[in-house]
Structure 1
Amino acid sequence: MIAVLGECVADAFADRRPGELALRVLPGGGPANTAVALARLGASTRFLGRLSDDVFGELFRERLSASGVDLSACVRAREPSTLAVATLDAEGQARYSFHAEGTADWEWSAAELSDDRLGGVSCLHTGSLTLVREPGAGAVAAFVGRAAATVSIDPNVRPSLASREDYLERLPLWCALADILKLSADDLAFLMPDAPVGRACEILHAAGARLVVVTMGASGALVSLDGAVATVPAVPVEVVDTVGAGDSFTAGLLHALESRGLLGGRLDGLDLASAAAAAALGARVAALTCEVAGADPPWADRLTSQPAP
């Protein structure tokens, strides 16, 4: 089983009309998207989240459960859900404004993150704002540090909610905890604006991350395993929007590694070819997500009906 720890976010897409602004709300949040994508691919998936009792919380539960995600480790929270209002540019890239103060996702306590909540899993994936938003970020980091499983982290940088200094302060710890560190090219440009991607990977490896994967949109992905590098092409697709594509990539990557029996430890059996093959599946899952509106990752039968290029 793969466990995913992190937030659920109500993604509200704006439709401007004369005299009013209509919002179409879809369930989202990077970690929740990854959990949904993993379960739809056929991976046994447990989600660890603080789910509100409000109307958005019910929407989150419905989506996760319908996708086959185990919610037994979730906390029922009294705080409201996080809301993000999204606007799309001409290329389908989303820009978000967050309404996140005092919401359920960031209120993790040490008592809520006891070791028995994780259970026996091969991999713990986490990331995004859960790792950087207080008051819960410290409790989350301590919990991840105790995990007896492969640790996967996606910082999923959100500059509107945390400063560059906030991320840079925590990045060495994330690298020390992570066996797998997945970032986007935008993340790296924000965190290390003066470092070419190869040099950035060297820095992240030196800080402790074994496998670093950098997604680069239409340019594909770069895979670096202890400094040995491979590139994976993007899958051509008619893009509706890119919402959730990076989260789907992570799901495909982890599902492929799990299917090969490579999760559960420190990636001792992983070689560069296997890492690149896993990233290639991630690219296919991301591409299929881009073909539809919102974070709506594909089910396994879509992969089998559309063979790899």
Structure 2
Amino acid sequence: MTGKGVLVYGEALVDIVPGAAGHEREAVLGGSGFNTALALARCGAPVAYNVSLSRDTLGQSFLQRLAEEGIDQRFVGVCYAPTPSATASLDADGVATYRFSLNGTAFDTAPPAPADLDDFAHLHVTSFGATLGASGEAALVLMRRAREAGLSVSYDFNIRPAVLPALPEARRAVEERAALCDLLKCSADDAQVLHGAEFGYAFARWLAHGDRLLLVTDGEKGGYLLPFRREPMVFPALAQDVVDTIGAGDSFMGAFLASLWRNGGLGEVLRNLPNELCAAALSFAVVVAAENCAQRGCNPPRLEPPSAHD
């Protein structure tokens, strides 16, 4: 375990989700960056969040929740633009698709850059908040600074075609950020959107950059971790009674990073991570993601990751 924490960069927005049976839609706090920071905090890791929030009522709700969860707000900016939103539609399996409202919102304002990164072992950037527009450009600068400062860096693609630019430009933006990372996370759907059915070639290219980990989730099939020059680690999906899948990938990622933090797996060691730390992080992350899927919206459980040696 290291005393230095995790810095998370990525969007915060309100998810408009279907209510319980017979009820109208409800607004819940979400966004990939917020969800991941929430999961990290609930799994016991020290976490700071770098984001721009609105001064409106919904923005105040985010600030209140961050305080309640013990998430460091030093790098949260506040602006007068309204809170962005995403309206979720669920299919029969609880899998969500989204319609976004981003233009003219707090999403268009890049958050304040940390003056230094001395308090952190790891930077995690996620989704279109780290890929698109002014926010995405600020994320790229922060990732370069983190590499120079010796932090480990992870990136969750979380591809949302409706808000990204044309495919060639989106692919270039993703690959520019991927090149700065020690740990990449994507879903099988993300990979297919970016690279089609032959996405294995892109995976091989990402792994060829060096001692990099590639974490791939594939819904109800589970997923796999590809460590550099080692055998893949396959993990199952444990979710059974699925209410919805909102925030499942973010909860998985937050739990995975929290386990690495607890076991001293962040920072330089992530570039040559022992198999036992990989296995412990995967085992813990699938439990957290499964419990999140049993809730409406993103609501990861409060759990402490076990030691890799337990």
Aligned mates of 1:180, 1:152 — CA distance in 2? 5
Letter in 2 for 1:3: L
Out of 93, 106, 109, the residue aligned to residue 107 of structure 1 is 109
Q: Is it true that 1:48 corresponds to 2:50 in the alignment?
A: yes
Q: 1:81 to 1:74 in 2, by over 3 A?
A: same
Q: 1:23 to 1:234 in 2, by over 3 A?
A: closer
Aligned mates of 2:197, 2:57 — CA distance in 1? 44
Residue 61 of structure 1: aligned partner: 63
Quote the offset at 1:127 in angstroms.
1.4
Q: Which runs of 5+ in 1 are unaligned?
A: 305-309
Residue 9 of structure 2: aligned partner: 5
Aligned mates of 2:17, 2:296 — CA distance in 1? 10
Letter in 2 for 1:104: A
Say whether the 8 Å CA contact 1:176–1:209 is kept in structure 2: no
Residue 225 of structure 1: aligned partner: 227
Residue 281 of structure 2: aligned partner: 278
Aligned mates of 1:53, 1:119 — CA distance in 2? 29
Q: 1:79 to 1:219 in 2, by over 3 A?
A: same
Letter in 1 for 2:115: D
Out of 220, 243, 255, the residue aligned to residue 240 of structure 1 is 243
Say whether the 8 Å CA contact 1:253–1:281 is kept in structure 2: yes
Q: Is it true that 1:129 corresponds to 2:118 in the alignment?
A: no
1:211-254 CA deviation, whole Å, 9 max, x = no partner?
10001111112101114211112214211111000000001110
Q: Is it true that 1:145 corresponds to 2:148 in the alignment?
A: no
Corresponding residue SS for 1:195 = helix
Segment drifting more, 1-10 vs 203-212: 203-212
Quote the offset at 1:17 in angstroms.
11
Quote the offset at 1:207 in angstroms.
4.4
Q: 1:268 to 1:181 in 2, by over 3 A?
A: closer
Letter in 1 for 2:145: R
Q: Which runs of 5+ in 2 are unaligned?
A: none
Q: Is it true that 1:166 corresponds to 2:165 in the alignment?
A: no
Segment drifting more, 184-193 vs 65-74: 65-74
Say whether the 8 Å CA contact 2:14–2:29 is kept in structure 1: yes
Residue 38 of structure 1: aligned partner: 40
Say whether the 8 Å CA contact 1:150–1:265 is kept in structure 2: yes
Aligned mates of 2:11, 2:118 — CA distance in 1? 19
Quote the offset at 1:90 in angstroms.
0.6
1:113-168 CA deviation, whole Å, 9 max, x = no partner?
2533x441011111111122212322220111111211011011000101322321
Say whether the 8 Å CA contact 1:8–1:51 is kept in structure 2: yes
The count of residues paired between Structure 1 and Structure 2 equals: 297
Q: 1:70 to 1:160 in 2, by over 3 A?
A: same
Say whether the 8 Å CA contact 2:9–2:130 is kept in structure 1: no
RMSD: 2.3
Aligned mates of 1:161, 1:207 — CA distance in 2? 28
Corresponding residue SS for 2:86 = strand
Letter in 1 for 2:95: Q
Aligned mates of 2:281, 2:301 — CA distance in 1? 16
Aligned mates of 1:165, 1:227 — CA distance in 2? 29
Q: Is it true that 1:206 corresponds to 2:208 in the alignment?
A: yes
Quote the offset at 1:72 in angstroms.
1.9
Residue 260 of structure 1: aligned partner: 263
Q: 1:300 to 1:16 in 2, by over 3 A?
A: closer
Say whether the 8 Å CA contact 2:12–2:32 is kept in structure 1: yes
Segment drifting more, 89-98 vs 9-18: 9-18
Aligned mates of 1:17, 1:259 — CA distance in 2? 39
Corresponding residue SS for 1:300 = coil
Segment drifting more, 41-50 vs 225-234: 225-234
Corresponding residue SS for 2:198 = coil
TM-score normalised over the length of structure 2? 0.89
Residue 119 of structure 2: aligned partner: 120
Residue 185 of structure 1: aligned partner: 188
Residue 253 of structure 2: aligned partner: 250
